[in-house]
Structure formats: C-alpha cells, structure tokens
C-alpha cells in the first residue's frame, strides 16, 4: 500500500504512525503508573503448586500490617487464586472513568487479579498468548494503584513465554522472590528461575523453601518429613540469598480456603514466624538499610527516579563487544521525567576479570545497555545489583538512552557472548 493510500483521512497520519503513537502513549502511561510505586517485587516459581500465590499473598499482607501501602497483582492465568486467598471472590474492580480501580482488601492493601475479570475460574486457560499479554498490558497501564510502597506481583508459574512477557512489561523491578519446595527442588528448576531473572535483568532477592517440614497438628512441633534444607544449599551454590523455610502447616490450607490471610489470623504459629523472617529483608528496603542485593543507587536518588546508565563505546557508537570497548558513555537520567541530567565519557579501565563491575559500581552505575556480553560478566553485574540490557543496536549512545527512557529501545540477540 502506498504511503498516501495508507493515510487516514483528516491528516491523522498513517496506520503505522497511529499505532506507534498509541504504543508510545501506553508506554508513557505504564511508566507514569509504575513511577508512583517505590518497590516492585516479583514472586516466581519453577512450577505450579509450590505455594507461590500463598507466599505472595502473605508477603503482601505482612507488608501492609507493617503500615505500608501495598498492591498485590495476580497475573497467574493458570489459577488466579489470590481472590480466594483473600476472600475477594466475586468482587469486581471499580472505575473512575479514566482508569481501573483495584479492589481494596483493607486500607493498606489493594488487589488486582485476572480472576476478577473472568466469568468462570478456568476461562483464561483457553486464552491464546497475545490475548493474555493484552490483558496483562491493560492491567499494568490502566489500573490506578496511586502511590504505593510495594507492588507484589504473583507471576504465572515457570519461566516460559508468559512469565517472560510479564517481566518485560514491568520496568524497574527491584527483584524477585523465588518459591520452591524441598521435594520439587530440582537443581534445574531453581537454576532456571535464577537464569530467567538474569535474562530479564532482575536481581534475585532470595529463595524461599515452602512446605519445608511439617508442623504437627496435635503438638505443633516441627517434623522434617522430606529432606528439608535443600533450598539453602541451592541458594548458597547459586550465590543468591536464602530468605527462609516455611513449614507445611494444615492451618495454612484451612486459612487459605476460607479466605483468611494466614499471617494475620495465625500470627503466633511457627509458620507465621517463618513468614516474618522472609518479609524482613523486603521491609528493610523501604526504611533503614537497603538489602544486600539491591543496587548502589541511594534511596533518595531512587525515589526521584534518578539512574546512572553506562554504555560501552567504540568509535563513538555502542560497542557490540562489551569487553573490547574504548570508553564508556555514562548518563545521569531522571527516569520519571525522562530527562538526561548529565553525561560524561570515561576511558575504559583494563579489561581484567572482575574489574569492570567494581569500577562501574563505584561510579554509581545501576544500568548497563550493551550489544553483547558473556554470561559470567552478566552474573558479576547482577551480583552488584546492576541490571544489564543486552542486544542494543550499535547506535549513537544518546539516542539509545532516550529510547530506553521511553521504553522504546528494541533489543535483539546477544551480539557477543564470549
């Protein structure tokens, strides 16, 4: 079709132009909504049935009980169980004419779930990929959470396309909590989750071993039935934090089935105390100290949306080979205002093992945009809380940063992974 033919009458531009404008508007709306949320935490698991939603709901309730403003977003198409867990089944989100209003569980906890949008519980199972993504995008851009301290996102299980798409739609996530059980604890499952996080540039906040040992319903003593404790070994091996073990407790099932948040109604139990241990490092994000895994950006800067982005440069353009760059273009940006505040060029130090992560970390860099980078280097940056976007084009660095701030940077394959 010629360009003229493709034009919509009335000088409104081509179909492609209008589509692009709509996408840009959606991206802006998404960035605006997400910019009002201080901490975004994903809850992931390698497979279903390990208690991911139970952990997500109880984390959200615990954070709200501590006086925080919390949102809980249930994106699990396979069984959106959050409405059941919080006795919100049959509720419908409201609207203020411009945006969707989440369901209020309590003053401090707002909830949005795919389950609120379905007529029947299993309806979403027949949805195809693009439809699911359309719904998630809509939930993220159109739900008006207002100002939140935390948004807890209950993910679809696994590390497939669905989880990947959700992760890519949520900019600036603080990190992921990975839920597993002792019996499902195959090395590959947790490894897959950790590698998934690296792939999407999300720090791993820690691993939770759920259904770890049993609380006797009679004497309330802990009994280790399966080989418990594998989660800690696994986390140590993979170099990620271990957040704790939550025992199997029949009262969790009872509370969940009757829609009573366990940590609130059974606060004195061993399992509730174990939840408190898991939530501790997440609470620490919002006050006092940053957790060990968090980025180098100071809280004050983070609150204002300030970030430092580094791009490896060769001959004035992004270098496709991270390890061969001549210098780094380093930009101070305000992601909320989508503005470049300052920029400098710094000659690259020698490419010795482990030096670049330390050097860039000391400069306060918390985002790297690269063409290609080896897996080990990615791991080293992730350990410092520096997120890495790979597959960026060999383009002018300023143009890359502007696209990045507008969530319009197109990433291809890793251009060099040795």
Residue ranges binding ligand ADP (CB under 6 A) = 45, 48-54, 81, 210-211, 246, 248-249, 252-253, 256, 271
Our CB check for ligand ADP shows the closer of 68 and 181 to be 181
Nearest 5°: phi and psi at 54? -60, -45
Residue whose beta carbon is closest to ligand ADP? 51
Per the CB < 8 A criterion, the answer to whether 35 and 305 are in contact is: yes
Per the CB < 8 A criterion, the answer to whether 289 and 312 are in contact is: no
User: Least distance in Å: CB of 210 to ligand ADP?
Assistant: 5
Phi-psi region of 11 (alpha: psi -120 to 50; beta: other; left: phi over 0): left
User: Least distance in Å: CB of 367 to ligand ADP?
Assistant: 31
Beta strands in 264-351 (DSSP E): 306-314, 317-318, 327-334, 339-347
**Six-digit token string for 375:** 């897996």
Our CB check for ligand ADP shows the closer of 184 and 415 to be 184
Tokens 């309590």 locate to 106
Our CB check for ligand ADP shows the closer of 42 and 380 to be 42
Q: How far is CA 101 from the centre of its chain?
A: 21
User: Least distance in Å: CB of 415 to ligand ADP?
Assistant: 36
Nearest 5°: phi and psi at 385? 75, 20
User: Least distance in Å: CB of 230 to ligand ADP?
Assistant: 16
Our CB check for ligand ADP shows the closer of 213 and 312 to be 213
What distance separates the 2 farthest-apart alpha carbons in the chain? 79
User: Least distance in Å: CB of 128 to ligand ADP?
Assistant: 22
Q: How far is CA 9 from the centre of its chain?
A: 42
User: Least distance in Å: CB of 198 to ligand ADP?
Assistant: 22
Our CB check for ligand ADP shows the closer of 37 and 248 to be 248
Phi-psi region of 364 (alpha: psi -120 to 50; beta: other; left: phi over 0): left
User: Least distance in Å: CB of 113 to ligand ADP?
Assistant: 12
Residue 74 and residue 329: Cα distance in Å, rounded?
39
Residue 64 and residue 66: Cα distance in Å, rounded?
5
Nearest 5°: phi and psi at 318? -55, 130
Our CB check for ligand ADP shows the closer of 142 and 162 to be 162
């Amino acid at each position: 079709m010629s360009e003229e033919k493709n034009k919509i009458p009335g000088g409104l531009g081509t179909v492609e132009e209008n589509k692009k404008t709509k996408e840009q508007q959606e991206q802006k709306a998404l960035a605006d909504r997400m910019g009002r949320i201080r901490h975004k935490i994903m809850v992931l698991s390698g497979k279903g049935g390990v208690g991911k939603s139970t952990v997500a709901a109880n984390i959200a309730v615990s954070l709200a009980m501590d006086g925080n403003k919390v949102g809980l977003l249930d994106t699990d198409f396979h069984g959106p169980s959050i409405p059941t867990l919080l006795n919100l089944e049959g509720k419908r989100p409201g609207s203020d004419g411009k945006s969707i209003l989440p369901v209020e569980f309590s003053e401090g906890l707002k909830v949005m779930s795919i389950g609120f949008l379905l007529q029947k519980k299993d309806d979403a199972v027949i949805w195809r990929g693009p439809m699911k993504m359309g719904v998630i995008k809509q939930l993220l851009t159109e739900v008006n959470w207002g100002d939140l301290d935390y948004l807890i996102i209950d993910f679809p299980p696994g590390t497939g396309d669905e989880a990947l798409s959700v992760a890519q739609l949520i900019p600036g996530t603080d990190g992921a909590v990975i839920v597993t059980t002792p019996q499902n604890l195959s090395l590959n499952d947790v490894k897959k989750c950790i590698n998934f996080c690296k792939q999407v540039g999300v720090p791993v906040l820690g691993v939770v071993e759920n259904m770890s040992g049993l609380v006797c319903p009679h004497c309330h003593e802990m009994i280790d039935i399966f080989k418990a404790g594998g989660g800690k070994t696994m986390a140590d091996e993979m170099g990620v934090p271990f957040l704790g073990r939550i025992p199997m407790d029949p009262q969790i099932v009872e509370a969940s089935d009757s829609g009573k948040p366990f940590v609130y109604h059974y606060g004195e139990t061993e399992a509730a105390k174990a939840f408190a241990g898991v939530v501790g490092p997440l609470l620490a994000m919002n006050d006092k100290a940053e957790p060990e895994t968090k980025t180098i950006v100071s809280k004050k800067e983070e609150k204002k949306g300030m970030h430092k982005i580094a791009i490896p440069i060769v001959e004035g353009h992004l270098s496709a080979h991270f390890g061969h760059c001549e210098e780094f273009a380093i930009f101070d940006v305000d992601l909320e205002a989508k503005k470049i505040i300052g920029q400098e060029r710094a000659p690259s130090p020698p490419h010795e093992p482990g030096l670049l992560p330390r050097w860039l970390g000391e400069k306060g860099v918390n985002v790297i945009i690269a063409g290609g980078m080896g897996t080990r280097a990615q791991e080293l940056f992730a350990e410092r809380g520096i997120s890495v976007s790979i597959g960026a084009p060999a383009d002018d660095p300023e143009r890359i940063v502007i696209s990045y701030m507008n969530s319009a940077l197109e990433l291809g394959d890793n251009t060099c992974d040795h």
